[in-house]
Amino acid sequence: MVTSTHEVSHRLFQEHPEALTPVFEALRLPPPTREDFGEVSTDATEIRPLERRIDTVLKFEPDMGESFLLAVESQTKVDPDKARSWSYYVAYLSAKFDMPVLLVTVCRDRATASWAMGPFECTVGPWSTQTTRPFVLGPQTVPKVTDESVVARQPALSALSAIVHSEDRRADAILETVARGLKSFPSNITAYWFELVEIGLENTPSKKKWRELMGMGTQFPGSGTLIEEMYLGGKAEGRAEGKAEGRAEAILRALEVRGITVSDSVHERITTCTDLDTLATWFDRSLTATTVEDVLDESPNMSADASEQP
């Protein structure tokens, strides 16, 4: 289930690498654009250790200048074992792709961010064989967004700012500024950013404040956010019709997120269904389905499995 800062980091930097602007400013490079980034090869993403251990890997490939890999990790606490893993990631990726690697860690807590800056050294006596120094996106390096015009220009960086500074004494003011700025976008885009920030805030005190500033359709099915609760609960004027429509949209969104193609006939079947129990069953299945048939199958075995679920 999508409930962690790790998942937010993955979604944010994969879909909006422009959020890495503070990193590029520190490297004295021009601000990054989405066109500068490419996916790491399929062979790499299918290697289980890489897939399991590294949050996000991006390949920076500008038209001019040096190409390199960015390994992005989210860190919520001091963890010496993780520091050793980071050294492995850098060495592994550099050897695998024959490219330099920049390790970027994302931290909300100031103390964790200070620790994550390293350096982490592999030493024998006075000799250091390897040194790992991550670039940290944390309270010390990510700007506090206090201007709505910045949100309009840089929504990804603003969302990151809201998350990273969630424990700052001015957190409420930052959240209010970011929320007002995000509301200037079309409703579906606003909903996307609102939910992404909410998930990134996890169980921080700032989450309650953020939820007070939210309200529209879900973009992250299964995450349990306020928007999703409203969507699945059918707050559309309290009508059963509104509930059915909300659940149908949630099912379709879940299938889209999982990369499952929906035919016109299946789309019609889902959107015209008015039985709330059936829609609830389909939604539960859509969170783990690999095909449309997994969702809509009404064979006895599937029905029995559904009835046994808590």
* Reported pTM: 0.64
Helix H, strand E, coil C: the string for the chain is CCCCHHHHHHHHHHHCHHHHHHHHHHCCCCCCCHHHEECCCHHHHCCHHHHHHCCEEEEECCCCCCCEEEEEEECCCCCHHHHHHHHHHHHHHHHHHCCCEEEEEECCCHHHHHHHCCCEEEEECCEEEEEECCEEECCCCCCCCCCHHHHHHCHHHHHHHHHHCCCCCCHHHHHHHHHHHHCCCCHHHHHHHHHHHHHHHCCCCHHHHHHHCCCCCCCCCCCCCHHHHHHHHCCCCCCHHHHHHHHHHHHHHHHHHCCCCCCHHHHHHHHHCCCHHHHHHHHHHHCCCCCHHHHHCCCHHHHHHHHHCC
Whether the pLDDT of residue 50 is over 50: the answer is: no
Average pLDDT over residues 150-162: 92
Confidence band of 306 (pLDDT split at 50, 70, 90) = very low
Whole-number pLDDT of residue 131? 93
Whole-number pLDDT of residue 204? 83
Confidence band of 213 (pLDDT split at 50, 70, 90) = confident
Residue of higher predicted confidence among 211 and 307: 211
Whole-number pLDDT of residue 78? 92
Whole-number pLDDT of residue 308? 43
**Per mean pLDDT, which range of 58-62, 155-159, 234-238 is the poorest?**
234-238
Confidence band of 217 (pLDDT split at 50, 70, 90) = low
Q: Tens digit of pLDDT for each residue in 91-103?
A: 989 999 999 999 9
Whole-number pLDDT of residue 52? 46
Whether the pLDDT of residue 140 is over 90: the answer is: yes
Q: Tens digit of pLDDT for each residue in 164-195?
A: 999 888 999 999 999 999 988 887 788 888 88
Domain ranges of the chain: 5-137, 148-228, 234-308
